[in-house]
Amino acid sequence: MRQTWRPDLEDLSHLKHTPLHALHLSLGARMVPFAGYDMPVQYPEGVLKEHLHTRAAAGLFDVSHMGQIVVRPKSGRIEDAALALEKLVPVDILGLAEGRQRYGLFTNDESGILDDLMITNRGDHLFLVVNAACKDADFEHLKKGLGATCDVEMLDDRALVALQGPRAEAVLCELWADVASMRFMDVVEADLHDVTCIISRSGYTGEDGFEISIPVTSAVDVAQRLLEHPDVMPIGLGARDSLRLEAGLCLYGNDIDTGTTPVEAALEWAIQKSRRSGGDRAGGFPGAERILSEFANGANRRRVGLKPEGRAPVRGGAKVYADAEGKVVVGTVTSGGFGPSVDGPIAMGYVDAAQAGNGTKLYAEVRGKYLPLTVTALPFVKQTYKR
């Protein structure tokens, strides 16, 4: 038997630690290298139970490896920061109200995706959360693009945790903060115990939940208090991945990257009307010409959900064919695995536009066999966001 990855054989001494690293070890986590950090892939309960617990009660995730960036307009006018950032993302930032958050993408001149991120209007500044593996490049990209009009600062004195699941609201309300009035994508500053945190009602699981930015000095204290609640279980990267896949959410580096465009990735919803052709501020972001043309004419391929028949998981990298003999390649699986809540294999990937309709029967190559799968609407599980 051989495991696909053997972190025990690697030299891990170069890896960075989040402020919760020692807490993970004390909880018995199995640690793996991820984006330059030594991160918990699972705790003793295991990926399957962690996944199901998050959908049934509440899961606590350490996402402190992600980048937290503040963009502050030199003029003091938030509109200036919004308009400056709009030059890098095809997103309506000017129309983002104070205390609201929005999903966004950094595009490049070739219409590819440099990273995906969350953008919040915090009144006098914009607050960005970006992927760990991209954060240094994103920071340079922002300084280069916005440096003339904004001060760009990477926060290295804050941890970030996510509390996700149907009990997340009740847990936070019981412990400290009255978050019941928050809607999906609202962001507030609130005290947890005596620690001032930035709380957003968002996440990466398809569940209702919150992401909480905490000053580093209080991170362990807040995390421990959350974990003391009987409804809360610590959740590792393994279940984070299966939860987001069931929710149909992209993982940067797998499902989107510089080789995929927003329209190919089926992320049109992230580009608001004002930035599309005919909008007040149409275009004006890197790669706009091709992206807006794909809006009008469609892309040659599209990201879709893929539901394998049977029980065998189809993993990322598997080639997708139109026929059961493996003659005509029509796409590739970019993320695939087992969905514990679906209780079966699930996948997503890119297929030719002609094959992208829901219900299309395709085949994926797994260990020399061609397993049938069906193009399926995402998400695989119903999202329970509190809108």
Partner 1 sequence: MLKFTEEHEWLKIEGDVATVGITEHAAGQLGDLVFVELPEAGASFAKGDSAATVESVKAASDVYCPLDGEIIEVNQAIVDDPSLVNSDPQGAAWFFKLKLADPSAANALLDEAAYKELVA
Interface with partner 1 by CB under 8 A: which residues? 1-5, 41-42, 46-49, 51, 238-239, 241-242, 311-313, 315, 337-338, 340, 345, 367
Whether the ω angle into residue 379 lies within 30 degrees of 0, i.e. cis, is yes
Measured distance CA(114)–CA(257) in Å, rounded: 6
Query: 121 near 100, Cβ under 8 Å?
Result: yes
Shortest distance in whole angstroms from residue 378 CB to partner 1? 19
Of the pair 337, 379, the CB lying nearest partner 1 is at 337
Shortest distance in whole angstroms from residue 56 CB to partner 1? 16
Q: Which residues are bridge partners to 71 per DSSP?
A: 126, 152
Query: 105 near 268, Cβ under 8 Å?
Result: no
Shortest distance in whole angstroms from residue 347 CB to partner 1? 13
Shortest distance in whole angstroms from residue 41 CB to partner 1? 7
Q: How far is CA 69 from CA 19, 159, 270, in A?
A: 17, 12, 20
Of the pair 327, 367, the CB lying nearest partner 1 is at 367
Shortest distance in whole angstroms from residue 340 CB to partner 1? 6
Of the pair 73, 340, the CB lying nearest partner 1 is at 340
Measured distance CA(8)–CA(191) in Å, rounded: 40
In DSSP notation, 69-108 reads EEEEETTS-HHHHHHHHHTTSSS--TTPPTTBEEEEEEE-
Measured distance CA(170)–CA(178) in Å, rounded: 9
* Tokens 């957003």 found at: 200
Of the pair 96, 381, the CB lying nearest partner 1 is at 381
Shortest distance in whole angstroms from residue 199 CB to partner 1? 29
- 237, 241, 243, 244 alpha-carbon torsion, rounded to 10°: 130
Pairing of strands 37-42, 150-154: unpaired
Contacts of 210 (CB under 8 A, 6+ apart): 162, 163, 164, 168, 169, 172, 179, 199, 200, 201, 202, 203
Shortest distance in whole angstroms from residue 208 CB to partner 1? 22
Of the pair 62, 86, the CB lying nearest partner 1 is at 62
Q: How far is CA 97 from CA 78, 82, 202, 209, in A?
A: 10, 11, 16, 21
Measured distance CA(63)–CA(236) in Å, rounded: 10
Tokens representing residue 195 in the block: 């620690």
Shortest distance in whole angstroms from residue 28 CB to partner 1? 12
Of the pair 179, 249, the CB lying nearest partner 1 is at 249
Of the pair 10, 136, the CB lying nearest partner 1 is at 10
Of the pair 4, 181, the CB lying nearest partner 1 is at 4
Shortest distance in whole angstroms from residue 158 CB to partner 1? 29
Of the pair 28, 123, the CB lying nearest partner 1 is at 28
Of the pair 1, 148, the CB lying nearest partner 1 is at 1
Q: Which residues are bridge partners to 121 per DSSP?
A: 126
Please provide the size of the chain in residues. Answer: 387
Shortest distance in whole angstroms from residue 113 CB to partner 1? 25
CB atoms within 10 A of CB 312: 15
Measured distance CA(38)–CA(271) in Å, rounded: 34
